């Protein structure tokens, strides 16, 4: 039990399919190497679009991971979810043998859901009328089908639902799962998020918002958080999964522990549908809530994996928020945006970035912010520019902020018994 009477929750498994690799180890190695996942889009012709590139998965074939029928009946976002969760469950060594399936659950989200399926079925409707719409259209489209597929495949009968809060989706899923285990409603929770937005409508929609970088001549340089030359985010795709487990349950089965999860903070900006407030008030309150939840002071935090999208206003707002929360300690911490390499995975971002924070805490090494070449006077903290840095990490914090003013912060610490 923790000092506040809640059960201790540890991370015992990780899974990821990302633009930097289709396993956690490949993803982590490429993060530390400072590799960019951005490249010209291969899925469709982008000649009529303002942006011609994104962070697609590389060397990905669904049937390398799933049976053919299962893959055909899942939108890519659900494929990514199931694959990441399969990896995490295997990594944790979880088995229901001798266990109560009601004590195992899933909270897994997607900000958009089956966008590729919607694009395809809308074309079918326009070409041949409603009779051409697939009977699998709705089950492939809805965001909660990922969590449903995961529980069906593995027999987990405990709490099961999806979160949807734009870019904060996966962090909300992980935070909810944390509370479920803390309060004793489950022993093990599979949680995270996935997204597959690189479609004609997805690219067109974000271009219409003027949210995306247009650095078509050098895609690998386009995602440049906190750099003075940033001009928008780079769209990415993939999925990340985390296994959260009650400590004594994990110890009883001899599980390996990556780290301990100790705090969450959820807030709303109540300000604007896309823009953050000046000073980052919602982000400030979210980070402070996570620290209060963990019962620690700001000076204990060693590393922040920031939201850091490479947008002109967002990076300044988050920098201001960090200064407000951490004071002078903000200049002693290591900060980095792994979006500089993965792009922005939208509803999957919180899970993939939580994995980066967890591994930084486990391995005492900070992944860099790449493409940091021209300092912005308004962004003047240590963003771990361009090269990974070794540093002892006792506490690591991960921020995600979504359209609609949704803010979520996760806080993990190095595990000690």
Report the 3 state secondary structure along 394-414: CEEEEEEEECCCEEEEEEEEC
Q: What is the mean pLDDT of residues 3-12?
A: 86
In a domain, 257, yes or no: no
pLDDT, tens digit, for every residue of 324-362? 999 999 999 999 999 999 999 999 999 999 999 999 999
| C-alpha distance from residue 167 to each of 228, 238, 307, 403, 405 (Å) | 23, 13, 9, 7, 10
Claim: this prediction has a pTM higher than 0.75: yes
In a domain, 416, yes or no: no
Q: Tell me which of 204, 227, 252 is where a domain ends.
A: 252
Q: Tell me which of 226, 252, 278 is where a domain ends.
A: 252
Sign of the CA dihedral 190, 161, 409, 296? negative
5 band by pLDDT with thresholds 50, 70 and 90: confident
d(CA 226, CA 238) in angstroms, rounded, equals: 24
Q: Are residues 200 and 330 in the same domain?
A: no
Q: Are residues 60 and 145 in the same domain?
A: yes
Q: Are residues 96 and 154 in the same domain?
A: yes
Q: What is the mean pLDDT of residues 148-164?
A: 98
Q: Are residues 299 and 245 in the same domain?
A: no
In a domain, 187, yes or no: yes
Task: Establish how many alpha carbons lie within 13 A of residue 108's alpha carbon, considering only the half-sphere containing its beta carbon.
Answer: 38
Tokens of 107: 């909270």
Contact 316, 378 (CB under 8 A): yes
Q: Are residues 306 and 246 in the same domain?
A: no
Q: Are residues 79 and 209 in the same domain?
A: yes
State the pLDDT at residue 2: 52
Q: Has residue 3 got a pLDDT over 80? A: no
pLDDT, tens digit, for every residue of 253-306? 999 999 999 999 999 999 999 999 999 999 999 999 999 999 999 999 999 999
Q: Are residues 139 and 271 in the same domain?
A: no
User: For the chain, how many residues are written?
Assistant: 417
Q: Has residue 208 got a pLDDT over 60? A: yes
What's phi and psi for 170, nearest 5 deg?
Answer: -65, -35
In a domain, 349, yes or no: yes
d(CA 101, CA 186) in angstroms, rounded, equals: 9
What's the distance, CA 141 to chain centroid?
20
In a domain, 109, yes or no: yes
Hey, what's the torsion of the CAs at 274, 280, 286, 292, to 10 degrees? 180
pLDDT, tens digit, for every residue of 374-387? 999 999 999 999 99
Counted domains in the chain: 2
4 band by pLDDT with thresholds 50, 70 and 90: low
Q: Is 102 helix (H, G, I), strand (E, B) or coil?
A: helix
Contact 13, 243 (CB under 8 A): yes
Strand order in the sheet with 334-336: 160-161, 104-109, 188-195, 238-246, 9-17, 259-268, 406-413, 395-402, 303-305, 334-336
State the pLDDT at residue 189: 98
Active site residues: 167, 307, 344
In a domain, 414, yes or no: no
| C-alpha distance from residue 153 to each of 109, 150, 415 (Å) | 17, 5, 30
In a domain, 2, yes or no: no
What is the CATH classification number for the domain harbouring 294? 3.40.47.10
Hey, what's the torsion of the CAs at 80, 82, 83, 85, to 10 degrees? 120
Q: Are residues 292 and 160 in the same domain?
A: no
In a domain, 336, yes or no: yes
Q: Which residues pair with 386 in a beta bridge?
A: none
131 burial via Cβ count (<10 Å: 0-12, 13-18, 19+): exposed
Q: Which domain, by its residues, includes 360?
A: 267-409
Q: Tell me which of 191, 223, 252 is where a domain ends.
A: 252
Q: Are residues 277 and 248 in the same domain?
A: no
Q: Are residues 233 and 275 in the same domain?
A: no
Contact 235, 212 (CB under 8 A): yes
State the pLDDT at residue 417: 82
Q: What is the mean pLDDT of the chain?
A: 97
Q: Are residues 14 and 154 in the same domain?
A: yes
Q: Are residues 246 and 271 in the same domain?
A: no
The single-letter DSSP state of residue 160 is E
């Amino acid at each position: 039990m923790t000092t506040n009477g809640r059960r201790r929750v540890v991370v015992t498994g990780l899974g990821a399919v990302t633009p930097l690799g289709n396993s956690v180890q490949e993803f982590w190695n490429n993060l530390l190497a400072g590799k960019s996942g951005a490249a010209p889009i291969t899925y469709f012709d982008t000649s009529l679009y303002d942006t011609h590139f994104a962070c697609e998965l590389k060397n990905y074939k669904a049937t390398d991971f799933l049976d053919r029928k299962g893959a055909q009946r899942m939108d890519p976002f659900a494929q990514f979810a199931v694959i990441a969760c399969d990896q995490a469950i295997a990594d944790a060594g979880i088995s229901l043998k001798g266990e109560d399936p009601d004590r195992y659950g899933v909270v897994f989200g997607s900000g958009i859901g089956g966008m590729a399926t919607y694009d395809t079925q809308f074309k079918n409707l326009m070409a041949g009328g409603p009779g051409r719409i697939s009977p699998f259209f709705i089950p492939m489209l809805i965001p909660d089908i990922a969590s449903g597929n995961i529980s069906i495949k593995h027999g987990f009968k405990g709490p099961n639902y999806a979160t949807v809060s734009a870019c904060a989706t996966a962090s909300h899923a992980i935070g909810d799962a944390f509370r479920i285990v803390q309060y004793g409603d489950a022993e093990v929770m599979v949680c995270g998020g996935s997204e597959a937005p690189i479609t004609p409508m997805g690219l067109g929609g974000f271009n219409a918002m003027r949210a995306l970088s247009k650095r078509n001549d050098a895609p690998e340089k386009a995602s440049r958080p906190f750099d003075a030359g940033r001009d928008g985010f780079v769209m990415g795709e993939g999925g990340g999964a985390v296994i959260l487990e009650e400590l004594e349950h994990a110890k009883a089965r001899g599980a390996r522990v990556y780290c301990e999860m100790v705090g969450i903070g959820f807030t709303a900006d109540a300000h604007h549908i896309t823009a953050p407030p000046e000073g980052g008030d919602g982000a400030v309150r979210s980070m402070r809530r996570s620290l209060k939840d963990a019962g620690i002071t700001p000076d204990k935090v060693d590393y922040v994996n920031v939201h850091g999208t490479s947008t002109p206003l967002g990076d300044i707002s988050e920098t201001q928020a960090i200064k407000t929360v951490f004071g002078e300690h903000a200049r002693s911490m290591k900060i980095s945006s792994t979006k500089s390499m993965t792009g922005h995975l939208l509803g999957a971002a919180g899970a993939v970035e939580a994995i980066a924070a967890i591994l930084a805490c486990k391995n005492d090494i900070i992944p860099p912010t790449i493409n940091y070449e021209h300092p912005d006077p308004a962004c003047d903290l240590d963003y771990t520019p361009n090269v990974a840095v070794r540093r002892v990490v006792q506490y690591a914090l991960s921020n995600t902020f979504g359209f609609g003013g949704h803010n979520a912060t996760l806080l993990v610490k190095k595990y000690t018994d």
